[in-house]
Every structure is written in C-alpha cells, then in structure tokens.
Amino acid sequence: MTVKIPNDLFDPRLSSRRDDVDTSHAAAESMTNTAQRYHSMILNVMRRGGLWSAQEIADTTTIDYVAVGKRMCELRRKGFVRRTDEKHRNRSGRLAYKYICTETKETTNA
C-alpha cells in the first residue's frame, strides 16, 4: 500500500525568504523530490501504529532527525499526522511531542 502524497505538501517558497540569494532558492527547489520521498518514508513507519517522536522516526529510517522534524510540520499542516499531548525525553534530555498517523483509506492506494 502506497501513501498518496499531494504535490503541494512541500512548498519550496516557504523554505527560503524572498530576499535570499539565488542559491537559497535553488537549494529549496532541489529538495522537492527528497521531501516527497521523506514524507512517504515517515508515513510508512507511522502506519505501523502507535505514537512516534521525530527522533524515533529518524532512528527507524535513514532520515536525519532535523529533516524529520521539518517534514512532520508539513505532514501535520496537511492533516496526515497529529501531534498528541504525550511527550518523551529525547537524547538531548528535552521533552519532545509524539505524533500519530491520521491517514484514512482515502489517502492510500491498495
């Protein structure tokens, strides 16, 4: 089963400021395919069920913890995941929220 990821989930315009240099805009554009791949990887892990922190997802995939956090914001904004009230201590000792996958049958292909 593959998750349908909308093309507008990652918007490179939100990843760089209007007055940034051209290389920043090019870097943001270059992330489009990678971001879509990361969205799929994250959702595939989360579909196993349960609550997940960004660190736990990073530990389960090859995605850097910071990149997972950025992709989680995008997935949350589009309703694919929901932040819960549950927290756990991450490696730095700080509390981090856990997330749950909210996907429905309409968001997947068989």
Inform me whether the pLDDT recorded for 47 exceeds 60: yes
* Burial class of residue 63 in the structure, from the number of CB atoms within 10 Å of its CB (0-12 exposed, 13-18 middle, 19+ buried): buried
Q: For the chain, give the mean pLDDT.
A: 79
pLDDT digit string (tens) for 65-91? 999 999 999 999 889 999 999 998 988
Between CA 96 and CA 55 the distance in angstroms is 9
Q: Domains in the chain and their CATH numbers? A: 2-109 (1.10.10.10)
- Please spell the DSSP secondary structure of 2-16, one letter per residue: EE---TTSS-GGGSS
Amino acid at 50: G
CB atoms within 10 A of CB 10: 21
Between CA 83 and CA 100 the distance in angstroms is 7
Give the rounded percent of residues in the chain with a pLDDT score beyond 70.
Answer: 66
